[in-house]
Amino acid sequence: MKYTFKIFFFLVFFISTFGFAQSNKIITTKKEAEKKGIYAAPSVDKAIAYNEPLSKNQKKEIRDKEKKSKKIKAILNTKNAKDIIIDNEETDYVAEQLINNVIDNVGVDYSYGGTSKDGFDCSGLLYSTFKKFDIDIPRVSSSMADIGEKMSIDNAEKGDLIFFATAGGNRITHVGMITEVNGDEILFVHASTSAGVIVSSLSETYYQNTFVQINKIL
């Protein structure tokens, strides 16, 4: 009863605080991923994978996740459509999961306006990846560049978005996600018009010359 009251108080506080105000955060943590069924505790995963009988605790854990998932969905649905809410808790975990998901699309063809494995454009690739985690970001690269916090190259980290002006000038027309930072080299995954979804390096001359900015949204 005491635990239930705490959850109820948290939900009321969360909705009243973030439900109707615009924010620069995203509602996604390892705990919430568990609640939404995106991630499950290893012990449960292994038991299911090997068709082992679940213990009483594991069964209770699954039931609790299902109940909490419905409550979280209710909170997400109260958000302002323009809000992007990121919880600072365990952002490294979230970044890793986003990277794993986006890299899974390497080799998929480029398709203008595409948001599926039938074909992606650059912003469609990231939009659909974030969407898997119930994270709503703008659909086009130029609008994506307006969210989060601009970072210097020296402070770039995995999971950050990297933007380019590939049509000349400073107008952002291309976006990717940083997958690795090794010293001075920054690797990023993106949907290239010529090669589809690939991993490239900022050290390549073309990307050096068209680079505009890096944004941290996690």
**Catalytic positions:** 122, 174, 190
Distances (CA, A) of 27 to 31, 39, 186, 201: 11, 15, 27, 30
**Residue holding tokens 């979280």?**
72
- Strands across the sheet with 196-201, in order? 149-151, 211-216, 161-164, 174-182, 185-192, 196-201
Give the three-state DSSP class for 120.
Answer: strand
Give the relative orientation of helices 56-77 and 42-49 as an angle to the nearest 10 degrees. 110
Instruction: Count CB neighbours of 216 within 10 A.
Output: 19
Residue pair 178/98 in contact (Cβ under 8 Å)? The answer is: no
Closest by CA position to 24, among listed 73, 102, 79: 79
Give the three-state DSSP class for 182.
Answer: strand
